[in-house]
Amino acid sequence: MEPIGRVMRHGLPNQRYLDFVGRYLLHRPPGTPSVDPFQPQLSVEQIEGAYVDRTAVEEEACRLDTQIVMGRQGSGKTTLAIRLSTLLRQGVLVVPVPIELAEVYARLDSLSESSTPLSPGSLATLIFDAYWENLLCNPAHRGRFLLRLRQDRLWMVRLRWFYHHLPPRHLEIPEEFELMTWLRASPSNEIYGAAMRPEDMLRELIRFVTSADLSLASAWTQAYRARAPYEHIQVLLDGVEHCSEAGLERLGRDVTWLHRLSLETGRISFKLFAGDYLREAFERIRCVQSGQVTLYALPLWSEDDLRRLLYRRLAMWMPGESIAPTDFSDRRERMAELRKALAHFLDEEGVKTLCRDLGIDYQDLPAQGKTNKLRELIAQMERRDRLSELFAIASRICPQLESRWPIPSEGKEGMKWEPNWGMRIPDCYLTSLARKHLVREIVAGALRV
């Protein structure tokens, strides 16, 4: 097995194990499809189901400061960046920089080129677009804040000015005819003037996004006056895996500029996800050397994490097939039954009480309606192995739940599951012995660094 150990000396998932499968596990006819259990093509929605919580990593990534997160290819940087918007506390506007824009740093051949995703003008456009999409295009947020904000004439005038100077991708909100009529009118220059430098425009935009005044009249309750829609802006740049020499130097300048902006405003921070081979280049940046901008290297995966990740991604990869009928399929059916039972026995206030007792903010669940929020709550508790706690609290709130919901006794105790490692892996042509040891070798090999 020594050659296998050498081939699999990676340390992280998402590496290509096809050569290992083809070379050592035999019986894969030439021309058959590639197989990599750690890298199926998952949609953003499916990532939620395949995601494995790594509490220490999430706590570090949720710090609201300028930070460079490094990791080898496949260490989970992109998945973490996608999930970060649901992990950050309420009141943080997440501004993801599209990966195609991050590729600019790989193509730069001259420092004279001024346009990068993190230059003031480009960054201002991305921030306003995220603000527009999250606050005004989102029906839930629009219904929660817009009624009060539109009564503030100063906010409306500023919104119109930014709408014309930093036009968002989706210019229209069909449900808001009056608002769109107001925004289409020519903007007044009495606040910011006809022309403004990109740096100054970015600073004013940060103040606008994070300082909306909701205390409009004494008639509003204290709850309504409590906070603005957003208190902080978190910019995420992912996809920096390759940089030209000029692009690397320009990226260092951009990081330094954003750090100064963060110190100046106190309302914006920046997180860069990059390949760990760039560590030496980043360590030469002055603000990194002084410790003002932190470098964080993603840790290796544990054996349990790897097994859970492999099993969940195989489940996502084969949505129409029963992977492990005695484990996963039954479990999925029980979760659907639990959701129906909770929706039947608990009203919305009961669900809010359940969330509060579990330490979850009901409003933060990324769904609309009681049933959908229950689905999201159960999914979160399942990922965190807290289903037994959820069931116990729900039974205390609603005693008839335990007597009428047909869950097996072992589910009440812990709802633990162990995948069947002899299951068929899709599109693989393996011997029974190879099938039996495949997962064990992947996990053990990935841990030998």
Task: Say which residue, 418 or 55, is predicted with more confidence.
Answer: 55
Rounded CA separation 317/337 (Å): 23
Pick from 160-174, 216-230, 420-434 the range whose average pLDDT is largest: 160-174
Please classify residue 101 by burial: count the beta carbons closer than 10 Å to its beta carbon, then call 0-12 exposed, 13-18 middle and 19+ buried. Answer: middle
Query: What is the pLDDT at residue 428?
Result: 47
DSSP helix/strand/coil, 156: helix
pLDDT at 271 over 90: yes
- Which band of pLDDT confidence, cut at 50, 70 and 90, is reported for residue 83? confident
Question: Can you read off the two tokens belonging to residue 318?
Answer: 């084969």
What is the pLDDT confidence band of residue 131, given thresholds at 50, 70 and 90?
very high
Sorted by where each begins, the domain ranges of the chain are: 2-43+427-447, 55-297, 325-413
DSSP 298: P
Query: Average pLDDT in the 420-439 region?
Result: 48
Which tops the pLDDT comparison, 396 or 333? 396
Residue 129 has pLDDT above 90, yes or no: yes
Contact 162, 128 (CB under 8 A): yes
Q: How far apart are CA 5 and CA 447, in angstroms?
A: 10
In DSSP notation, 19-49 reads: HHHHHHS----TTPPP--TT-----HHHHHH
When comparing pLDDT for 396 and 295, which is higher? 295
So what's the pLDDT on residue 128? Answer: 94
Supply the pLDDT for residue 189: 66
Return the higher-pLDDT residue of 43 and 271.
Answer: 271
pLDDT of residue 90: 82
- Ranked by mean pLDDT, the top range of 79-93, 303-317, 380-394, 428-442 is 79-93
- Which of the 8 DSSP states describes residue 91? T
Tell me the β-bridge partners of 71. 275
Confidence of residue 394 (pLDDT cuts 50, 70, 90): confident
Check if the beta carbon of residue 380 is closer than 8 Å to that of residue 360.
Answer: yes
Residues recorded for the chain: 449
pLDDT band of residue 127 (cuts 50, 70, 90) is very high
**For 406-434, what is the mean pLDDT?**
44
**The tokens 């029974």 sit on which residue?**
432
- pLDDT the model gives residue 315: 64
Q: Which of 125-129, 189-193, 398-402 is predicted most confidently?
A: 125-129
Q: According to the 3-state scheme, what is the secondary structure of 95-140?
A: EEECHHHHCHHHHCCCCCCCCCCCCHHHHHHHHHHHHHHHHHCCHH
Residue partners of 185: CB distance under 8 A and separation at least 6 = 160
Confidence of residue 410 (pLDDT cuts 50, 70, 90): very low
> Who has greater pLDDT, 8 or 284?
284
pLDDT value for 236: 93
The pLDDT of residue 191 = 73
| pLDDT confidence bin for 175, thresholds 50/70/90 | confident
Stretch 143-161: mean pLDDT: 82
51 contacts 84 by C-beta, under 8 angstroms: no
Q: Which residue has the higher pLDDT, 246 or 3?
A: 246
Q: What is the mean pLDDT of residues 124-131?
A: 93
- In angstroms, the CA 306 to CA 162 distance is 46
User: pLDDT tens for residues 321-355?
Assistant: 444 433 444 455 667 777 888 888 888 888 888 88
Could you tell me which residue, 417 or 245, shows the higher pLDDT? 245
DSSP character at residue 187: P
pLDDT band of residue 413 (cuts 50, 70, 90) is very low
Higher pLDDT: 247 or 435? It is 247
Above 60 in pLDDT, residue 30? Answer: no
Token readout for 307 is: 């097994």
Please tell me the predicted confidence (pLDDT) of residue 26. 38
